[in-house]
Structure 1
């Protein structure tokens, strides 16, 4: 099944020696990797990045590390988190955001570790592609929970500390599917559309607090995301972007305080056509979507 989504990741555990997947962050086991961090890692700005095992999350972590940030990296695959953290000032916070208390426990572990979070990059998520009429109810619930509910819960847990500090930025990784709606990706499109609406509403609520909200909207991205759906991305257009290009857009949005970032930038056009000429938009979608 093809999934032209964000390329964000939600990695399964790969080491059978560790048994069942973890259901909560493990702050006691969190540890730095690579270059030794400063005596106090909070001398650097701090970024909590979910979905950091691979794809967009890993690329974003490396970009922030290159800019001198201290990283709090979350995902379900510890070995891949270690690869991401190599050479960086970083701590690992493995977590299963599918667990009922996953978001709360991750936020608590992160704040205990550094005392603050300057940027949250919410990149964890999954997809499902195929006719909606054949989609199992359990998969409907799973996509909605991981791509929308878990993200909202994590933001809710992290936000009070940012507001109290009078600074910070929440970065939400959306998808072009949430802007235009994609055939045979109805639930994924719904989840990402909900994330876009949440970003706009939260942005209004946070005016004057010093905390910003950025929505990053990628098209297809060259990650393992597609292989997990059962077949590679097979559309002629749009061509997949690299994870590093999305990471660059995230960094630029954070450093410049931008509310929205599209990768590639021309992806703003479909949403504009939809708003200005919905009939034309649907004809184009029927032909090319």
Structure 2
């Protein structure tokens, strides 16, 4: 049986968002799930097995209109949980990227997400109740050579989440940022990074990442870095010069680094 509460999960068709939506439904939340692809409707069928109400929306969250469509689908219900997970990656050298491609990363990860967060946070503040989980990344701690725009957007989200949390400190609204490292999702293929070392290396199971984020949100924590290797990398990033971090990132994300890594292992 459902608990009568509503959770919105963005980017729920695959990966971390898909796994978080399952956790929310298991905990009795009705779901409003969204992605910019028809696969979200198949995912919704999967979520329904937990016995709660599930509504799926195909919308472009890079636009205000897409976010308005999502919010309208709540039909006036209070939003008890918002999981702002939708995001877009982009690999390769910045000077070689199409303007439309890097703008779409910013519009999805920053502009659209910020708009949705403001709309929902306003509702939650007025009710003095609610939980927000934002999918940031340890990438936000590292200047991302060959992922420059993407890492920059995650730095924004990591920072923004703490600022919003502070502004809501005297309310019963909590804000948590999930900071995963590389996770076994479609992200790297979609970002055209399958010829990079990070693209082919072993990654964290998205179900484990999702559980870490969901548990942190429910405990009211400010953030969680998912995975012990990522915790170590996050700690190192705070004491390592940015120029060094950027150079190290090159070894992981530069096109062709997958082949170089393979040769080095032989």
* Residue aligning to 2:138: 176
Rounded to whole Å, the distance in 2 between the matches of 1:45 and 1:79 is 21
Count of residue pairs brought into register by the alignment: 247
Superposition pairs for residues 32-43 of structure 1, below 5 Å?
A: 43=3
- Determine helix, strand or coil for the equivalent of 1:149: helix
User: Which structure has greater helix proportion?
Assistant: 2
Give 1:286 deviation, angstroms. Answer: 6.4
Question: What CA deviation, in whole Å up to 9, does each residue of 1:88-133 have, x standing for no partner?
Answer: 31222332212342213312322x25x1111100111111100111
Identify the residue that residue 227 of structure 1 maps to in structure 2. Answer: 189
TM-score when normalising by structure 2: 0.84
Question: 8 Å contact 2:143–2:245 — kept in the other structure?
Answer: no
Give the match for residue 259 of structure 2.
none
Q: Distance in 1 between matches of 2:58 and 2:237?
A: 40
2:262 corresponding residue in structure 1: none
Contact 2:94 2:146 in 1 (8 A): yes
Moved over 6 A (4+): none
The residue that corresponds to 1:21 in the other structure is none
Range moving further from structure 2, 215-224 or 238-247 = 238-247
| Other-structure match for 2:31 | 71
Given the alignment, which residue of 158, 163, 173 partners 1:211? 173
User: What is the match of residue 17 of structure 2?
Assistant: 57
Residues 230, 213 of structure 1: alpha-carbon distance in 2 compared, 3 angstrom cutoff: same
TM-score by length of 1: 0.77
Question: Quick one: higher RCO (CA 8 Å, sep 6+), 1 or 2?
Answer: 1
Assess, with a 3 A threshold, how the Cα gap between structure 1 residues 272 and 234 changes in structure 2: closer, same or farther: closer
What residue number does 1:135 align with?
97
Where do 1:108-257 residues align within 5 Å? 108-110=72-74, 112=75, 115-232=77-194, 234-235=197-198, 239-257=202-220
User: Structure 1 residue 281: deviation in Å?
Assistant: 5.2
2:58 alignment counterpart: 94
Deviation at 1:241, TM superposition (A): 0.7
DSSP 3-state at the match of 1:58? helix
CA contact (8 A) 1:175 1:216 kept: yes
Distance 1:200 1:172 in 2: 10
Give how far 1:231 is off. Answer: 4.9
Partner Cα separation in structure 1 for residue 126 and residue 28 of structure 2:
24
CA distance in 2, matches of 1:226, 1:287: 15
> Equivalents in 1 of 2:91, 2:249: separation in Å?
17
Q: By how many angstroms is 1:140 displaced?
A: 1.7
Cα deviation, 1:175-227, whole Å, max 9, x if unaligned, reads 22111122200000111101111111111111111111111011111112222
Hey, what's the Cα distance between the residues in 1 that align with 2:247 and 2:189?
Answer: 27
| 1:73, distance to aligned residue in structure 2 (A) | 1.0
**What's the counterpart of residue 260 of structure 2?**
none
* 2:248 alignment counterpart: 285
Aligned partner of residue 214 in structure 1, secondary structure? strand
Residues 54 and 80 of structure 1 are in contact (CA less than 8 Å); yes or no, is this contact kept in structure 2?
Answer: no
**Equivalent residues of 2:165, 2:174 under 8 A apart:** yes
Flag structure 2 segments of 5+ consecutive residues without an equivalent: 253-266
